Amino acid sequence: MIKVNFNQKPDRKPNEAHELFKDGVRCIMWANDYKEALKCFNKAIMMRDDQSDYYYWRALARKHLKQFRGAVNDFNKAVELNPETFNILEIYNTT
C-alpha cells in the first residue's frame, strides 16, 4: 500500500500535486485501494483545483466507494474544466 503524509500543509506546488495524483492512480491500478486513492486525489485537488484529470480519477474512486453524489459532481467538474476531452455521455455510459 502506498502511504502519503496527509499532515503536510499544501503549498500549491504543481509538481507535488501531480505526484499525489500519480500516487492515487497507482493506488487504484496496482492495489485497488480506492480509499487511499481518494485521499491522494483530495490532497492533489486542494493544491491544484484546475486539473480535470484529478476530478475524473477522484470520481472513479468515489464511484467504487459508492459515493455516487460526489462522483457525479466530480465527473461534472472534469467536463466543466475540459469539455473537449471529456464527453459527459461517454463518462456515464462507460463507468
pLDDT at residue 14 is higher than 80: no
pLDDT at residue 7 is higher than 60: no
How does pLDDT run across 28-78, given as a tens digit for each residue? 999 999 999 999 999 999 999 999 999 999 999 999 999 999 999 999 999
Segment 6-33 shows an average pLDDT of 83
Which carries the bigger pLDDT value, residue 85 or residue 30? 30
User: 3-class DSSP state for residue 75?
Assistant: helix
Which carries the bigger pLDDT value, residue 47 or residue 91? 47
d(CA 87, CA 27): 25
d(CA 34, CA 30): 11
Amino acid 65: pLDDT: 97
Amino acid 5: pLDDT: 57
20 CB neighbour count, 10 Å cutoff: 25
pLDDT at residue 10 is higher than 80: no
Lookup result for grid cell 460526489: 70
Burial class (CB in 10 A: 0-12, 13-18, 19+), 10: middle
d(CA 38, CA 74): 12
> What is the identity of the amino acid at 76?
N
Question: Is 9:42 a contact under the CB 8 Å cutoff?
Answer: no
In the chain, which ranges are E strands? none
